[in-house]
Amino acid sequence: MIGFYLHVPFCAKVCAYCDFAVLAAPLRVQRRYVELAQREAQIRWSRDAKNQSIRTVYLGGGTPTELQATDLGGLLDGMRAIGLIPPGLAEFSVECNPENLTEDRLATLAENGVDRFSLGVQTLSPRLLEAVGRKSDPDISRAAVERLVKTGSRVSCDLMFSLPGQSVSQFLADLEELTSMGVGHASFYGLSVEGNTLLGQQVSRGDVLAPDDLYADFYRQGVASLESKGIFRYEVSNFSRPGQEGIHNRSYWERREYLGIGPGAHSFLGGVRMGAPKAFSRWASWVEEGCPIAGMSLDPIGPAEARVEAIWLGLRQSAGLDLLAFEEEFSKGLDPKRWREFELADQVRIQDGRLQITGEGFCWIDRIVQTLLS
Amino acid sequence: MATPTSNIRNFSIIAHIDHGKSTLADRLLETTRTVVGNEMMAQVLDDMELERERGITIKAHAIRMMYERPDGQYVLNMIDTPGHVDFTYEVSRSLAACEGAILVVDASQGIEAQTLSNLYLAIENNLTIIPVINKIDLPSANPDHVADMIGELLGYDPASIPRISAKAGINIIDVLNKIVDEIPAPQGKLENPLQALIFDSVYDSYRGAISYVRVVEGSIRQNTKIRMMKTGAEYLVSEVGTFTMKRNVQQSLEPGEVGYMLANVKKIADIKIGDTVTSIDNPSQTQLPGYKDVKPMIFSGIYPTNPEDYKILRDALEKLQLNDSALSWLPETSEALGFGFRTGFLGLLHMEIVQERLDREFNVDIITTAPNVEYHVFMADESMVAIESPSKLPDPSRYDHIEEPYIQAQIFTPKEYVGPLMKLCEEKRGEFKTMEYLDEFKVILKYELPLGEVMFDFYDRLKSVSRGYAGLDYDPCGYRKNNLVKLDILLNGDPVDAFSVIIHKDKATTYGTAICVRLKDLIPRQQFDVAIQGAIGGKIISRTTVKAVRKDVTAKCYGGDISRKRKLLEKQKEGKKRMKNIGSVEVPQKAFLAVLSLNDAGSGGDDD
Ligand SMILES: Nc1nc2c(ncn2[C@@H]2O[C@H](COP(=O)(O)OP(=O)(O)OP(=O)(O)O)[C@@H](O)[C@H]2O)c(=O)[nH]1
Ligand code: SF4
Ligand SMILES: [Mg+2]
- Is a pLDDT exceeding 80 seen at residue B109? yes
Cβ–Cβ contacts within 10 Å for residue B538, how many?
7
Residue pLDDT, tens place only, A244-270: 999 999 999 999 999 999 999 999 999
In this prediction, residues A169-180 reach a mean pLDDT of 95
Within 8 A by CB and 6+ apart from B50, the residues are B58, B353, B356, B357, B360
Ligand 2, atom 6, residue with closest C-alpha: A15
Instruction: Give the burial class of B139: count Cβ atoms within 10 A of its Cβ; 0-12 exposed, 13-18 middle, 19 or more buried.
Output: exposed
- % of chain A beyond a pLDDT of 90: 79
Q: Report the atom number in ligand 1 closest to the C-alpha of B81.
A: 23
In this prediction, residues B426-444 reach a mean pLDDT of 93
Point out the least confidently predicted range of A161-165, B76-80, B586-590, B592-596: B592-596
Long-range contacts, stretch A268-272, CB < 8 angstroms, 24+ apart: A268/A301, A268/B560, A268/B562, A269/A2, A269/A48, A269/A49, A270/A48, A271/A300, A271/A301, A272/A298, A272/A299, A272/A300, A272/A301
Confidence at residue B548, expressed as pLDDT on a 0 to 100 scale: 85
Helical packing angle, A365-373 and A337-344, nearest 10°: 160
Q: Report the atom number in ligand 1 closest to the C-alpha of B15.
A: 19
Residue A23 β-bridge partners? A10
- Is a pLDDT exceeding 60 seen at residue B604? no
Is-above-0.90 flag for pTM?
Answer: no
Phi, psi of B138 (to 5 degrees): -70, 140
Residue pLDDT, tens place only, B279-306: 999 999 999 998 888 889 999 999 998 8
Q: Sign of the CA dihedral B411, B417, B418, B420?
A: negative
- Is a pLDDT exceeding 80 seen at residue B559? no
Confidence at residue B563, expressed as pLDDT on a 0 to 100 scale: 87
Contact (CB, 8 A) for A265 and A275: yes
Residue pLDDT, tens place only, A306-336: 999 999 999 999 999 999 999 999 999 999 9
* Ligand 3 mean position, distance from CA B329 (Å): 27
Sort out which chain A residues have CB atoms less than 8 A from B555's CB and list them.
Answer: 188-190, 192, 219, 236-237
In this prediction, residues A46-52 reach a mean pLDDT of 92
- Which 8-state DSSP code applies to residue B170? B
- % of chain B beyond a pLDDT of 70: 97
Which residue in chain B has the smallest CA separation from A248? B560
Within 8 A by CB and 6+ apart from B80, the residues are B12, B13, B21, B22, B25, B45, B57, B60, B61, B63
Contact (CB, 8 A) for A132 and A16: yes
DSSP for A37-62, please give it. Answer: HHHHHHHHHHHTSTTPPEEEEEEEES
Q: Sign of the CA dihedral B460, B461, B464, B465?
A: negative
- % of chain B beyond a pLDDT of 90: 70
CA–CA separation, B590 and B522 (whole Å)? 7
Q: Report ipTM for this prediction.
A: 0.86
- Higher pLDDT pick, B401 / A196: B401
Confidence grade of residue B330 (pLDDT, cut at 50, 70, 90): very high
Torsion, CA B389, CA B391, CA B397, CA B401, rounded to 10: 20
User: Which bound ligand lies closest to the C-alpha atom of B15?
Assistant: 1
Ligand 2, atom 7, residue with closest C-alpha: A18
For β-strands A91-96 and A116-122, DSSP reports them as: parallel
CA-angle at B201, arms to B196 and B205, nearest 5°: 135
CA-angle at A344, arms to A340 and A345, nearest 5°: 115
CA–CA separation, A9 and A26 (whole Å)? 12
* Ligand 1 mean position, distance from CA B18 (Å): 5
Q: Report the atom number in ligand 1 closest to the C-alpha of B165.
A: 31
C-alpha A218: how far from its chain's center?
20
3-state secondary structure string, B7-74? HEEEEEEEECCCCCHHHHHHHHHHHCCCCCHHHCCCCCCCCCHHHHHHCCCCCCEEEEEEEEECCEEE
- Is a pLDDT exceeding 60 seen at residue B605? no
Within 8 A by CB and 6+ apart from B459, the residues are B348, B472
Residue pLDDT, tens place only, B51-74: 999 999 999 999 999 999 999 999
